[in-house]
A and B are shown apart, each in its own frame.
Chain A
Amino acid sequence: MNIVENFDLFAPRLINKKELLSSGHRACSGCGEVLGVRLMCKALGEDTVIASATGCMEIVSSMYPTTAWEVPWIHVAFENAAAVASGVEAGLKALRRKGKIADRDIKVVGMAGDGGTMDIGMQALSGAMERGHNMLFVCFDNEAYMNTGIQRSSGTPMGASTTTAPAGKVSMGQKTWKKNMAEIMVAHNVPYVATACPSFPLDFIRKVEKAKKVKGPSYIHCFTVCPTGWRCPSDQAISLGRLAVETGIFPLYEVENGQYKLSAEMPKKLQPIKNYFKSQGRYRHLGEDEINMIQGKVDKEYGKLLNKVECLKAWD
C-alpha cells in the first residue's frame, strides 16, 4: 500500500478553501458537529445535494429567514433523510436520462444526527442502503438528542447521564451499550463504510472524498463532541474527540468491500478510558467498579474489531 496516510503540517494548506457552510450560524461554542459538517462540505465540493434530518444542524444553520448553506439543501422530517436523499438521487438520474439537466456527477448526501440515524431514521436508511442508491449517508453522532435537551438515544454510551437516563442512587445513567451503527451498515454489504472524527480533519476529509468516488451507497459515522450535552468545557471539543479515538472507545476504521482497515491515526497502545471520562460531567458519577466494567467492555469490542481487521478478506 502506498496511500499517504499521515500528514501534519503543510497538507492542511492544500485543502479546499471554499466554505460551503458559511459562518454566522447559531451553533454552540465548541460544537464539534458543525465543524464536521463544514469539513464534509469542503470534501464534497459544490456538486452536492444535501438532505438533512431534523436535529441540531438543521436548527443552527437554517433559522428563518437566513441560511448558512451554499449548496442545495433540503430539510426533511426526522425519520426520512435517507429516503429523501435516495429520491433526489433517483430524480436526478431520471432528469439526466431525459436530457433535462447536464450530464455530470452530482453526489446526493443524506445527513442526520445519532437520533435521526440510529433510532428514528433507521428503517429509511436501511432501505436506501439496500436499494443501492448512489448516495452517501453521514451520521453526526453526538451521543444523545442534544437539540431537544439531552435525551438518551441508542447512540448514548454506557454510563453517561442524560436527562431521560439520569444517574442517581439507583441508576448509573445509560444502562445499555452503544448501538454499533457502522457494523449494521457493513451488514448491508455497502461498498464503503467508515468511522471518522473531525478531531482528525485530514483523515475525515479523505474518507468523505473516498465515499464520494464510490458508485453506490456509502456510509460514514462521524463522532462529534458536544460540549453542551457532555458537560465539558468547550475548549476541549477537539482533544476529547482525539481521546475518544485514542482510548479505543470510538476506533477509526474503514470497511471497503468487506475488508476492514484501521486508520493510521489509531495508536498502537490504547490509553485507559479514565482519561477520556475525567473531564466530562456526564460521567462524573461513575465509580471505580463501573469504570473498570466499561473498560473491560471497550477492550473486548476493540479486540473484536482487531480480529476483523486481521481475518476478514475483501469480497470484491
Chain B
Amino acid sequence: MVNFIIDGKKISAEKGTMVLEAARANGIDIPTLCAHEAVSRSGACRLCVVEMKKGKRAKIVTSCLYPVEEGIIIETKNERVMNVRRLVLQLLMARCPESDVIRDLASQLGVDAQPRFAADEDKSKCILCRSCVRVCEEVVGVSAIGFSCRGADKAVSTPFNEDSAVCIGCGACAFICPTGHIEMETTEETRKIWGRTFKMKTCDVCGRYFAPEDQLKYISKKTGVPLKELAVCTNCR
C-alpha cells in the first residue's frame, strides 16, 4: 500500500492505482471526459489535471495517468489547478461550441466562451480524445477507425474517408463518445454509421430485425459459434 495526501486527506491505495481512481474512491471529484474503465487511458481531454507536490517540486499532472507514489501531496482544487482547468475548458469550448456536455462543465466552473479563441465551425463535437479509436481496437478488436491528417485538420475517420470494410456496425464508438459526436442512425432494416449503411438481420424465429449482418458474421468468426445459432434474437433464444 502507498500512502499519500489528496486535498489534505490521508489516503492509502494499492501500488499502481492512478490518482484519479484513488481520489474518486475517497469521494473527491475530478472532472473528466475521456477516462473510461473499459479502455486504456490517454490523458487526452486534460480536464483531470491536478497539482502534484513531491518534496520541493510541484507540477501539474493528468491524474488519470499518474500512478500514486509514497508521500506525494495532491491538490485537486487549488488556484493553479483551476486556472489550468478553466483554460482547457475555454479551448474545448472554442473547439466544440455546440457540445452540451462541455457547456455544462464550463458553466459548473463558471467559464465563458472567450472572444480571443475563435470558435471552430467544422469540428462538430469531437474533442479528439481517441476513446472511439481505442474502443474499436481494444474492446471490439477490428480497428475500423483512426485519426486522419495532422494539426488543425486532425479528425477521426475511416481510412481515406471511404466505407470501412472491417467495420461491423456495432456502435460501441458512438456509445463511448463523451460528447455525442459520432452519429448512428438505426431504422428497422438498416443502420448507418461512418457513412456506411449496414443491413440488419432478421431473427430466424420471430422475423424481427435485431443486429447488423456483418456483426453476427464477425462474432461467429471470432467465437467459432455457427452463424445459424446467432441468427436468433435475444427474445427467442
B235 in contact with A10 (CB, 8 Å): no
Q: Is residue B170 within 8 Å, beta carbon to beta carbon, of the partner chain?
A: yes
A6 in contact with B186 (CB, 8 Å): yes
In Å, the complex CA distance between A239 and B208 comes to 15
Q: Which residue of chain A has its CB nearest to the CB of B131?
A: A14
Tell me the minimal C-beta distance from B106 to chain A in angstroms: 15
Tell me the minimal C-beta distance from A90 to chain B in angstroms: 20
A5 in contact with B186 (CB, 8 Å): yes
Question: 9 other contacts beyond A4-B171, A102-B27, A267-B208, with CB at 8 A cut-off?
Answer: A4-B175, A9-B172, A10-B139, A10-B170, A10-B172, A13-B38, A47-B27, A102-B28, A239-B235
Could you mark each residue 177-219 of chain B with 1 if its beta carbon is under 8 Å from any beta carbon of chain A, else 0?
Answer: 0001011111010010000000000000000101100010001
A7 in contact with B171 (CB, 8 Å): yes
A4 in contact with B215 (CB, 8 Å): no
Q: Which chain A residues (1-17) contact chain B, with CB distance < 8 Å? A: 2-11, 13-14, 16-17
Q: Is residue A184 within 8 Å, beta carbon to beta carbon, of the partner chain?
A: no
In Å, the complex CA distance between A105 and B30 comes to 11
Q: Is residue A242 within 8 Å, beta carbon to beta carbon, of the partner chain?
A: yes
Chain B residues with a Cβ under 8 A of chain A: 24, 27-29, 36-38, 104, 135, 139-140, 170-172, 174-176, 180, 182-186, 188, 191, 208, 210-211, 215, 219, 234-235
Chain B residues in 8 Å Cβ range of A242? 234-235
Partner of A8, one of B28, B140, B180, B211: B211
Could you mark each residue 241-264 of chain A with 1 if its beta carbon is under 8 Å from any beta carbon of chain B, else 0?
Answer: 010001000000000000000001
A11 in contact with B171 (CB, 8 Å): yes
Chain A residues in 8 Å Cβ range of B174? 4
Q: Which residue of chain B has its CB nearest to the CB of A11?
A: B175
Tell me the minimal C-beta distance from A254 to chain B in angstroms: 17
Chain A residues in 8 Å Cβ range of B38? 13-14, 17
Chain A residues in 8 Å Cβ range of B171? 4, 6-7, 10-11
Q: Please list the 9 inter-chain residue pairs (A to B) with the smallest Cβ-Cβ separation, ordered nearest first.
A: A10-B172, A11-B175, A2-B183, A104-B29, A4-B174, A6-B186, A10-B170, A14-B38, A4-B184
Q: Is residue A89 within 8 Å, beta carbon to beta carbon, of the partner chain?
A: no
Chain A residues in 8 Å Cβ range of B235? 239, 242, 246
Q: Is residue A268 within 8 Å, beta carbon to beta carbon, of the partner chain?
A: yes
Tell me the minimal C-beta distance from A13 to chain B in angstroms: 6
Tell me the minimal C-beta distance from A262 to chain B in angstroms: 14
Chain A residues in 8 Å Cβ range of B27? 46-47, 102, 104
Can you identify 12 A-B contacts, CB atoms within 8 angstroms?
A2-B184, A2-B185, A4-B184, A6-B191, A9-B211, A10-B170, A11-B170, A14-B172, A14-B175, A46-B27, A104-B27, A267-B208
In Å, the complex CA distance between A246 and B170 comes to 23
Q: A8-B210, A9-B219 given as contacts; is B139 within 8 A of A14 (CB)?
A: yes
Interface centre among B37, B171, B219 (most CB of A within 10 A): B171
A47 in contact with B211 (CB, 8 Å): no
Q: Which chain A residues (178-208) contact chain B, with CB distance < 8 Å? A: none
Chain A residues in 8 Å Cβ range of B208? 267
B210 in contact with A105 (CB, 8 Å): no
Chain B residues in 8 Å Cβ range of A47? 27, 29
Chain A residues in 8 Å Cβ range of B188? 268
Q: Which residue of chain B has its CB nearest to the CB of A18?
A: B37
Could you mark each residue 266-287 of chain A with 1 if its beta carbon is under 8 Å from any beta carbon of chain B, else 0?
Answer: 0110000000000000000000
Q: Which residue of chain A has its CB nearest to the CB of B219?
A: A9
Chain A residues in 8 Å Cβ range of B191? 6
In Å, the complex CA distance between A14 and B24 comes to 19
Q: Which residue of chain B has its CB nearest to the CB of A243?
A: B235
In Å, the complex CA distance between A14 and B36 comes to 8
A3 in contact with B180 (CB, 8 Å): yes
Interface centre among A4, A10, A46, A264 (most CB of B within 10 A): A10
A13 in contact with B139 (CB, 8 Å): yes
Could you mark each residue 102-114 of chain A with 1 if its beta carbon is under 8 Å from any beta carbon of chain B, else 0?
Answer: 1011000000000
In Å, the complex CA distance between A102 and B210 comes to 46
A46 in contact with B24 (CB, 8 Å): yes
Chain B residues in 8 Å Cβ range of A7? 170-172, 175
Chain B residues in 8 Å Cβ range of A46? 24, 27
Chain A residues in 8 Å Cβ range of B140? 10
In Å, the complex CA distance between A14 and B38 comes to 6
B215 in contact with A9 (CB, 8 Å): yes
In Å, the complex CA distance between A102 and B175 comes to 31
Chain A residues in 8 Å Cβ range of B180? 2-4
Tell me the minimal C-beta distance from B140 to chain A in angstroms: 5
Chain B residues in 8 Å Cβ range of A3? 180
In Å, the complex CA distance between A108 and B215 comes to 39
Chain A residues in 8 Å Cβ range of B210? 8
B175 in contact with A16 (CB, 8 Å): no
Chain B residues in 8 Å Cβ range of A105? 29
Q: Which residue of chain B has its CB nearest to the CB of A8?
A: B211
Tell me the minimal C-beta distance from A162 to chain B in angstroms: 27
